[in-house]
Amino acid sequence: MKVLAAMSGGVDSAVAAARAVEAGHDVVGVHLALSEAPAALRGGSRGCCSREDAADARRAADVLGIPFYVWDFAARFTADVVDDFIAAYAAGQTPNPCLRCNEKIKFSALLDRALGLGFDAVCTGHYARLCTNLLRRAVDDSKDQSYVLAVLTARQLAHAMFPIGDTPKAGIRAEAAQRGLRVADKPDSHDICFIPSGDTRGFLASRLGSRPGAVVDDVTGEELARHDGVHGFTVGQRKGLGVAAPAADGRARYVLGIEPVTGTVRVGSAAALDVSSIDAGTPVWSCGRAPGGPVPCVVQVRAHGGLARAVVHVDGAGVRVDLAEPLRGVAPGQTVALYRPNPDGDVVLGSATITAAR
Amino acid sequence: MTYLDHAATTPMFTEVVVAITEALSRTGNASSLHSAGRRSRRAVEESRERIAAAVGARPSEVVLTTGGTESDNLAVKGLYWARRQADAARNRVLVSTIEHHAILDSAQWLVEHESVDVELLEVDQAGRVHPETLRAALARDPERVALVSVMWANNEVGTVNPIRDLAAVAHEFGVPLHTDAVQAVGILPVDFAASGVDALTLTGHKLGGPYGAGALLLGREVALTPLLHGGGQERDVRSGTLDTPSVIGLATAVELSIADAPRRAAALAGLRDDLVGKVLATVPDAQLNGDPGTGVVDGGPSRLPGNVHLSFPGCEGDSLLMLLDAQGIECSTGSACTAGVAQPSHVLLAMGADEATARGSLRFSFGHTSTSADVDAVAAVIGQVVDRARRAGQQASSAGRR
């Protein structure tokens, strides 16, 4: 097959490309330039769009002996991922930009261009397994990225290749070293790539400015504090609420809900965070069609953690998820990923966007 | 492989490789006083004389450097500092919009660090600077102009500038003119003295010589403040131990390329016109950018003989480059990169092209090893490559609307 390997400059995508080459595919490496001001990120070695990362990707491609190009997707990335991220926070939601990047950039804009140019597949260094069109969790549970891939359609998955999901991270690093790839011991990137400082709140404040509002008690409606904008809060957050007086029961307060129009942040007890039922819309089914009847599942509501057993009911254009055990930190706008439990690795059934949680 | 990127770098002549290789095993710092030093100095000075003779300069006017970027930086900053030192009012620098980044970024550096006013000289649709444009810019405030820099022949679209006329206009106002002639020397008739320019950049690897070796031709009376300080080896305007083997290689390449220039210019122009004709026959809406090459400028052709620069509507230059690379054809989008990302060419934008056209362009450049087989190789695949790149462009834009 003709395979386009997306190479971020990290160890995972380098080994993924190496494995695609070794499997006998005709591989071309492409680094996506995602920052509209790459010079400004020259020092941001933890981001995925610095010059250093592009150079690392190029070096890895040279070692593999494959052609390598840098493609400019900065405008698309800004519109579809960064602006979407900012708008979601402004709307009181908690977006996952990696998920959006997979959905809109890597397996949409990039994949479409690749197919147009005669490639058969896009290969990435995501920790997930894809065999006979079934998307499964990675072997390395701590690195599993199937959640941020659960938004992909059957068509997108048909042209995807995730070669490293069958190996733990430590094994990937060892393999990189053995293959002579200099990125073998390059530190993992943990932060959002377009916020290399890691200061998400500062980034949002610089984009959204000050939008003052009140922090109120969910039960009494009492105003407990003022804040500079709802974008500084996510549902389930405990720290940084700015509330001086302790709660009547002496327990910690959590963000329970965010009302972007009025700028109100409702806070209350941990128990009030628990949800037992989730409504979600615009589902995507990894196999291409909705399952019939109620489906016993494991659901996941964020990239790491947030797992619960559940029964999923397909309901017209949406799904209702009845949780067997309560989940916390569930907010509208988040993606709920649905898995069919399997001892060989849970299989992704699909995903949907949370509209309400009770 | 079909190598059509001679404007980026052209293969070294065999004679150059031999001359450098022989020189590499001989010890001697050209600044030393003992016999090894004298031997090295003699080789350097003979090389300097050969270069001077080939380009119509005096030996003392050849300042040896590491190449085009150093020579351009030295000319722009060095001339500026020297002129401002003589007259503090001279803080305007005039450069054309189609310069190489070695000039544009040097000028921009002066803006940011020396509070210089840089004025960009507009070009016509072919990418040419008109003497009247320069005259108008100079006349606005002649007492404040430190220098003018206009390239001899453009590296992207191949258009040749009327350097002799431009130098004459600059001199009417008592202003020195520098020209970046790295694409011109070795293929166009370049005579430093006859051109009237005050400083001229040339480099080895564009004309069959070594990488990292070039010169700034600098008129004897022209004052210039050095960038590199130290031993004062080159007329006290450029310090650093000379790379004797490379200097010998540079001189050999300058001599050989210039001696053969008339024959090669005719041969390359034939290949160029053949390629343009064959591409346009297959892709009728492709468009040749720059001067058509039928005119005469300063006794030479109006377009670089080996330069083909084409826009392919509906295509991304990146896609075309990759697809041709996969077919064994090596060419260029011709424009500069930022962090590896091809930027829409500032040259095409200056010529009035829109951004999509500027992005959808390719440069094929011929050189001394090119043959008609290279033309045939491109002609055989350009149709399918353009079709494919267009489909990729359409899919990407329809995905964008989704």
Q: What's the CATH code of the domain at B122? A: 3.40.640.10
From chain A, the residues in CB contact with B394 under 8 A are: 116
Confidence of residue A46 (pLDDT cuts 50, 70, 90): very low
From chain A, the residues in CB contact with B341 under 8 A are: 33, 38, 70-72, 74
Q: Same domain for B379 and B317?
A: yes
**Could you say which of A48, A49, A98, A193 is catalytic?**
A193
Contacting residues for A153 by C-beta, under 8 A, at least 6 apart: A284, A285, A286, A288
pLDDT of B89:
96
Q: Is the pLDDT of residue A42 over 60?
A: no
From chain A, the residues in CB contact with B402 under 8 A are: 108
Q: Same domain for B347 and B293?
A: yes
Containing structural domain, residue B266: 2-8+261-401
The domain that holds B353 is classified in CATH as 3.90.1150.10
Q: Where are the domains of chain A?
A: 2-125+163-185, 210-272
Q: How far is B34 from chain A (nearest CA, A)?
A: 45
Does any CB of chain B come closer than 8 Å to the CB of residue A201? no
Q: Same domain for B207 and B280?
A: no
Q: Same domain for B248 and B279?
A: no
pLDDT tens, position by position, B324-355: 999 999 999 877 665 567 778 999 999 999 99
Beta strands in chain A (DSSP E): 2-6, 26-33, 68-72, 121-123, 128-131, 134-137, 160-161, 213-217, 223-227, 254-259, 264-268, 275-285, 295-300, 307-315, 318-327, 335-340, 347-357
pLDDT of A48:
46
Confidence of residue B225 (pLDDT cuts 50, 70, 90): very high
Between positions 68 and 97 of A, the ones with CB within 8 A of B are 69-72, 74, 76
Q: Same domain for B297 and B206?
A: no
Q: Of B258, B278, B310, which residue sits at a domain end? A: B258
Instruction: For residues B73 and B70, give the distance between their C-alpha atoms in angstroms, rounded to a whole number.
Output: 5
pLDDT of B205:
98
Contact B335, B341 (CB under 8 A): no
Task: Return the CATH number of the domain spanning residue range A210-272.
Answer: 2.30.30
Does any CB of chain B come closer than 8 Å to the CB of residue A45? no
The average confidence (pLDDT) of chain B is 95
Q: Same domain for B246 and B329?
A: no
Give domain A2-125+163-185's CATH architecture: 3-Layer(aba) Sandwich (3.40)
CB pair distance less than 8 Å for A116 and B392: yes
Q: Same domain for B363 and B337?
A: yes
Number of domains present in the structure of chain B: 2
For residue A108, give the chain B residue with the closest CA: B399
Confidence of residue A93 (pLDDT cuts 50, 70, 90): confident
CB pair distance less than 8 Å for B400 and A109: yes
For CA atoms B74, B79, B85, B89, the dihedral sign is negative
Q: Same domain for B33 and B180?
A: yes
The verdict on whether A101 is a catalytic residue reads yes
Beta strands in B251-368 (DSSP E): 287-288, 296-297, 300-301, 307-311, 329-330, 337-338, 341-342, 361-365
Q: Same domain for B288 and B228?
A: no
The verdict on whether B337 is a catalytic residue reads yes
Residue with tokens 């022949």: B153
Contact B249, B12 (CB under 8 A): yes
Does any CB of chain B come closer than 8 Å to the CB of residue A118? yes
Q: What is the complex's ipTM, to 2 decimals?
A: 0.86
Helices (H), chain A: 11-22, 51-64, 74-77, 83-90, 97-101, 110-116, 154-158, 169-178, 200-208
pLDDT tens, position by position, B171-203: 999 999 999 999 999 999 999 999 999 999 999
CB pair distance less than 8 Å for B340 and A117: no
Least-confidence region, from A208-217, B89-98, B200-209: A208-217
pLDDT of B352:
96
CB pairs under 8 A between A and B: 65
Q: Same domain for B164 and B220?
A: yes
Q: Same domain for B108 and B55?
A: yes
Q: Tell me the two tokens of residue A113.
A: 């261009």
Q: Same domain for B198 and B333?
A: no
Please compute the mean of the pLDDT values over residues B374-378 and round it to a whole number.
98
Q: Of B231, B258, B285, which residue sits at a domain end? A: B258
Q: Of B258, B274, B293, which residue sits at a domain end? A: B258
Q: Which of A69, A109, A112 comes nearest B322 by C-beta?
A: A69
At A11 the three-state DSSP class reads: helix
